[in-house]
Structure 1
Amino acid sequence: MVLLFFLIFAIGIGFGFSELPHGLRLVGGNSRCKGRVELWKNEKWGTVCDDHWKRETADMVCQELQCGPVMEVRAGKLFLPKAQEAQPIWNLKCQGRERTLAECEEDTVDCEDHNEDAGAICEESLDFEDYQLVAGPSRCIGRVEVKYSEKWASVCNAGWTLQHAKVLCQEIGCGRPILTKGSCSKDEQGTGGIWPGQVECQGSELSLKDCSVTPMEKNNCSHKDDTWVYCEERFALRLVNGESSCSGRLEVLHKGSWGSVCNDGWGEKEDQVVCQELNCGKAISKKLRAKKNFGHGKGLIWLDDVHCKGKETSLEQCRHRFWGYHDCTHKEDVSVVCLEK
């Protein structure tokens, strides 16, 4: 019989249904840190009688739920929906030395109905679980959001600096921060909650989670103050309109946009740097390349007067004019043809 029990238990684990509900929760509030106290006991969720309910006990519940300190001790009947009539009422008396509500002893005092249920309002924990850039034109530009109390919320721009943006840009694999600002248009603004915290970064942290978190001094931010961050894209290049990724018109990525390269001063050394960076074979001669037609670009021309020594591992290391400065038309777009490896 014992063997059969363990066999059933093991099968249950395999199918992911062995775990029963357990623990502690606050129900009926607008977050997990507010509501009527409910405790899992004797394989049932039950409420807690408020006869012995006091601030110290409520504070222990807040800590157990990893919320902030208790702000208010409330009657559970004020939180809707009300507890079901069939739910038991646990009559608990805590001595002050317990670490969890479940350790408190049963008392003989009986609460007659759920009008005497205990409740609590805890301060929300400001720690965030994750963060992201959203609504931007690329993964390196967007509105900053943090996942807080299991929901995504905007971050107020108050106190946000390029030091904070530097940590964020680096962690998501983008280049240096170019700009950080508040939302200027309705299209840039969030629609959900606003995180009531602030991060304090020195700029040397490896993760935004390594920065200290403090409550916002004056939580008067609106979505007009949502933080936007512009990080540089990591340098990238590609060959387009060719038969493979090793041939075509050259385009480079800058500030989230792809643009052409002017052929002023372009030669064999520059060709070879591009082919090597794309992990292709050697570049073919200009004469053979002249027979190929990869069309003209239509957008930006990012680079002009590019000069490489031939030993560079990336076109980014070659000299060129300032980004976007040129005296070319798209008829002068660079094309490169490399052998396949």
Structure 2
Amino acid sequence: ETLIRLVGGDTESEGRLEVYKFGKWGTVCDDSVTDKLAAVVCRSLGFPWNTSEVYGNAVYGEGSGPIWLDDVICEGSEISIDECQHQEWGTSNCYHRKDVSINCSPKDTVVQLIGGANKYEGWVEVYKFGKWKKLSTYGINRKFASVVCRSLGLPWTTSEVYGGAVYGQGSGPIWLDEVDCVGNETKIQDCIHRGWGSHNCDHSKDVSISCLSPNEVYGGALYGQGSGLIWLDDVKCEGTEARIQDCHHDTWGVHNCDHTEDASINCSPSRGMNIFNSIED
């Protein structure tokens, strides 16, 4: 009987799939594999298997030694990996960057926004396979922004998505590329994408999001309360004025406010005039 194990994960039920054959531990190529392989592996290891997932692109790290199996096709009911269809043992056209990984008890993907002035904006980071990594902008549009913002419990109806790493470039692997969302998904992993860790991007295309529509004014001291005098109240502008003092307002220093009502403004379009070069609705 062929021995198998999962290596490199946070728990024993996830990691890179390794197979012991002919006295050596080796890996499996990700060509042709589906979640049915994950079901076979997890069940044979005594782990939950109904929601198990298989991943390519060595997301838990590249293995070493022989690549024992390629083009593994399982029905899902097999008792062991030996019973699945595959190429001859040791025959493959793969490299270790395509090593298969499996998670027998996958959890929801965690998303966060980092690098912005507040919790409503920043570059998008995704926690998967024990690591926080960024996403590429290729193929992403505002529907993706609405999914991310809604999943974080933030406003989403006027959310915006930006390319060009406007909040800073990341480093290391890029988890997702060519993410295509309908807009009503509850989680980012429900959107179509080219596979975890599979991309043709660099970090100059890291994606960022604002869950509040840019070029808007917000109340409630969104960016923090000020101190000292409150100079203006009941300010009404047409939008064509050159200066704030040209807008209609109460007498300077006359108001019925406190600093919990300080106004805030997001001028992000002026920061990122070229950020939609590769992003369209």
**Counterparts in 2 of 1:49 and 1:303: CA distance versus 1, 3 Å:** farther
Query: 1:335 and 1:50 mapped to 2: Cα distance?
Result: 77
The correspondence for 1:210, drawn from 190, 197, 216, is 190
- For the pair 1:49 / 2:22, whether they are aligned, the reply is yes
Identify unmatched segments of 5+ residues in structure 2.
43-52, 67-75, 85-94, 259-281
**Counterparts in 2 of 1:332 and 1:136: CA distance versus 1, 3 Å:** same
**Counterparts in 2 of 1:97 and 1:149: CA distance versus 1, 3 Å:** same
Confirm or deny: 8 A CA contact 2:169 2:206 kept in the other structure: yes
Which segment drifts farther, 221-230 or 174-183? Answer: 174-183
| Aligned-residue offset at 1:207 | 3.2
| Aligned-residue offset at 1:227 | 0.5
Query: 2:220 and 2:7 mapped to 1: Cα distance?
Result: 53
Confirm or deny: 8 A CA contact 1:304 1:321 kept in the other structure: no
Confirm or deny: 8 A CA contact 1:33 1:62 kept in the other structure: no
The correspondence for 2:136, drawn from 156, 165, 171, is 156
Q: What does the per-residue CA deviation read over 1:113-156, in whole Å, with 9 as the maximum and x for residues that have no partner? A: xxxxxx98534679972211112111110111112222111010
Decide which structure has greater helix share: 1
- Pairs within 5 Å for 1:1-341: 24-26=5-7, 32-33=15-16, 36-37=18-19, 47-49=20-22, 63=38, 64=41, 66-68=53-55, 78=65, 98-100=78-80, 122-123=99-100, 129-175=109-155, 176-184=157-165, 188-215=168-195, 219-232=199-212, 252-253=220-221, 256-258=222-224, 295-297=228-230, 304-305=235-236, 326-328=247-249, 331-335=253-257
Confirm or deny: 8 A CA contact 2:147 2:188 kept in the other structure: yes
Identify unmatched segments of 5+ residues in structure 1.
1-22, 38-46, 80-95, 105-118, 238-250, 261-293, 306-319, 337-341
Confirm or deny: 8 A CA contact 1:62 1:69 kept in the other structure: no
The aligned residue for residue 265 of structure 2 is none
**Counterparts in 2 of 1:49 and 1:321: CA distance versus 1, 3 Å:** farther
**Counterparts in 2 of 1:129 and 1:252: CA distance versus 1, 3 Å:** closer
| Aligned-residue offset at 1:157 | 0.8
Structure 2 counterpart of 1:257, one-letter code: Y
Confirm or deny: 8 A CA contact 1:177 1:232 kept in the other structure: yes
**Counterparts in 2 of 1:196 and 1:33: CA distance versus 1, 3 Å:** farther
Secondary structure in 2 aligned to 1:67? strand
Confirm or deny: 8 A CA contact 1:169 1:177 kept in the other structure: no
Decide which structure has greater strand share: 1
Secondary structure in 1 aligned to 2:253? helix
Identity of aligned residues (%): 20
Secondary structure in 2 aligned to 1:147? strand
Query: 1:32 and 1:217 mapped to 2: Cα distance?
Result: 14
Query: 2:133 and 2:196 mapped to 1: Cα distance?
Result: 14
**Counterparts in 2 of 1:193 and 1:55: CA distance versus 1, 3 Å:** closer
